[in-house]
Chain A
Amino acid sequence: MVNHLFGNYLVNAGIITAEQLEQAFELQKKVRVKLGLIAVAEKLMTTEQSEEVNRLQSVMDKRFGDIAVSKGYLTDEQVGRLLGLQGNPYLSFANAITESGYMTLEQFEAAFADYQKSLEFTATDMEAIKSGDSDRIIPLFLPEIDNMQLEHVLMAFRTFIRLIDSDAYIGKGSIAASAKTNGVALQSLDGDKKATLCFAGEGDALLTIANPFAKEEFETVDLDALDAVAEFINCINGMYATRVAPSLNVDMLPPSYKDGVDSIASDAMLMLPIYVKGKEVLLLSKFDGEITL
């Protein structure tokens, strides 16, 4: 998610173009992050030392880490830790941007510091963003909500990543009284905790959920497509009910959906935009109240 959040900042700030960002995403999928870049980003080596090891590597049949250790730039322990960071999403994005020649690592890091200022986030918050862990990132973009509702939203997003699109990312959440949509699917939980989880979206946005979940190619947001969205919500709520089951008895009501609906309302519902395949779907969550069509 860090690649999309920070990548959009870079585009909006005019540092790279949208096309360059897309190309960086493509590269990120293909290329393994270089150990030298991680070592410099972690401030264990200088750029010059990294370049020197790279030059030596091109004429020696040895790994970067082995050469760096032999030159005294890194210890075996540090190499082990750097290898563990190779899957890190922030570093992988930095690698894609710098390998593409759009920015140097220094420029990338300076822009990340500016991004932090624009968000007014702490260093700890930025470490959460760098981690790519949605459970740590999402709370940074939400208004204050109770822990049970937060857990519900986090589970919904994790399930979204797992079943719908691993490239999905979030926008800024807010408390809203209404939302525009084209069709809607929702499911309420009853029992010890009353809650409703709903997905909405304008145009054909809800197809970004319906098509991958049902493994179909719906062309319009019709009742069949909304049934698929409702079943996806059913899966999320089932896992949530399991999670809270030791302490709470939560009953799942049948999911429901309706086409032709153009707005939904509540006195105060949590609205979290999720971006997937260039579309915006809205995750709407209401605890201890109702969402009406």
Chain B
Amino acid sequence: MAKILIVDDSRTSRKILRGILEQNGHEIIGEAVDGQDGVLKFRELQPEVTTLDITMPIMDGLEALQVIKKDSPDANIVMVTAAGQQNKMIDAIKYGASEFVTKPFETEEILRIINKFNK
């Protein structure tokens, strides 16, 4: 079981992701609605895994990723992307993202990735 922070501006995406993870034994310790909120919640909650949507208002996922990795280089960050954001995925790898999941969410894909941090 991993303690997870979900950062996504879409309530729908947060709810679907929370549902998949909780039903499979993971604990959602917080949710954030944009990158700025995500950075604050990360510092406060120190999650084992953070899921970070790329396309968000105020502060996008790539910017939040850089701030979090600067604070906590060992942070496990799973970027959440719509398909079609290959360029941003490359940038996310450069900035230290651990993994990616794509929307629409596939339960098996999400669990396969989150379970990697659950050893």
A binds B: yes
Q: Which residues of A contact B (CB under 8 A)?
A: 163, 213-216, 224, 227-228, 230-231, 234-235, 237-243, 245, 249-255
Q: Is the CB of B84 within 8 A of A245?
A: yes
A residues less than 8 Å from B40 (CB atoms): none
Q: Is the CB of A214 within 8 A of B12?
A: yes
Q: Is the CB of A227 within 8 A of B85?
A: no
Q: Is the CB of A239 within 8 A of B84?
A: yes
Closest CB of chain A to B62's CB: distance in Å?
12
- Complex Cα spacing A237 to B13, Å: 16
- Complex Cα spacing A71 to B86, Å: 60
**Interchain CB contact (< 8 A) of B86 among A163, A239, A240, A242:** A242
**Interchain CB contact (< 8 A) of A238 among B9, B12, B15, B102:** B102
- Complex Cα spacing A12 to B61, Å: 52
B residues less than 8 Å from A237 (CB atoms): 82, 84
By CB atoms of chain A within 10 A, which of B10, B81, B87 has the most?
A: B10
Q: Is the CB of A242 within 8 A of B84?
A: yes
Chain B 38-53 residues near chain A, CB threshold 8 A: none
B residues less than 8 Å from A241 (CB atoms): 82-85
Q: Is the CB of A238 within 8 A of B84?
A: yes
**Interchain CB contact (< 8 A) of A239 among B11, B15, B83:** B83
Q: Is the CB of A238 within 8 A of B11?
A: no
Q: With A237-B84, A239-B83, A241-B83 known to touch, is A228 a contact of B12 (CB < 8 Å)?
A: yes
Closest to B103 in A: A235
By CB atoms of chain B within 10 A, which of A234, A235, A255 has the most?
A: A234
**Interchain CB contact (< 8 A) of A230 among B10, B83, B102:** B10
Chain B 18-75 residues near chain A, CB threshold 8 A: 19, 55-57
Q: Is the CB of A254 within 8 A of B84?
A: no
**Interchain CB contact (< 8 A) of A231 among B13, B56, B83, B86:** B13
A residues less than 8 Å from B83 (CB atoms): 235, 238-239, 241-242
Closest CB of chain A to B50's CB: distance in Å?
19
A residues less than 8 Å from B82 (CB atoms): 234-235, 237-238, 241, 252
- Complex Cα spacing A250 to B84, Å: 8
A residues less than 8 Å from B15 (CB atoms): 214, 216
**Interchain CB contact (< 8 A) of B85 among A213, A215, A252, A255:** A252
**Interchain CB contact (< 8 A) of B87 among A213, A235, A249, A253:** A249
Closest to B15 in A: A214
A residues less than 8 Å from B10 (CB atoms): 227, 230-231, 234, 255
By CB atoms of chain B within 10 A, which of A213, A238, A250, A253 has the most?
A: A238
Q: With A214-B15, A239-B84, A252-B82 known to touch, is A163 a contact of B55 (CB < 8 Å)?
A: no
B residues less than 8 Å from A227 (CB atoms): 10-12
- Complex Cα spacing A253 to B84, Å: 12
**Interchain CB contact (< 8 A) of B103 among A224, A231, A245:** A231
Q: Is the CB of A254 within 8 A of B9?
A: yes
Closest to A189 in B: B84
- Complex Cα spacing A50 to B11, Å: 57
Q: With A234-B103, A239-B83 known to touch, is A254 a contact of B57 (CB < 8 Å)?
A: yes
Of the A-B pairs whose beta carbons lie under 8 Å apart in the complex, a sample of 25, sorted by A's number, is: A163-B104, A214-B15, A214-B16, A227-B11, A227-B12, A228-B12, A230-B12, A231-B103, A234-B103, A235-B82, A235-B83, A235-B104, A237-B82, A238-B102, A238-B103, A239-B83, A241-B85, A242-B83, A242-B86, A245-B84, A245-B86, A252-B55, A252-B82, A254-B9, A254-B55
Closest CB of chain B to A232's CB: distance in Å?
8
Closest to A240 in B: B84
Closest to B102 in A: A238
Q: Is the CB of B86 within 8 A of A215?
A: no
Closest CB of chain A to B87's CB: distance in Å?
7
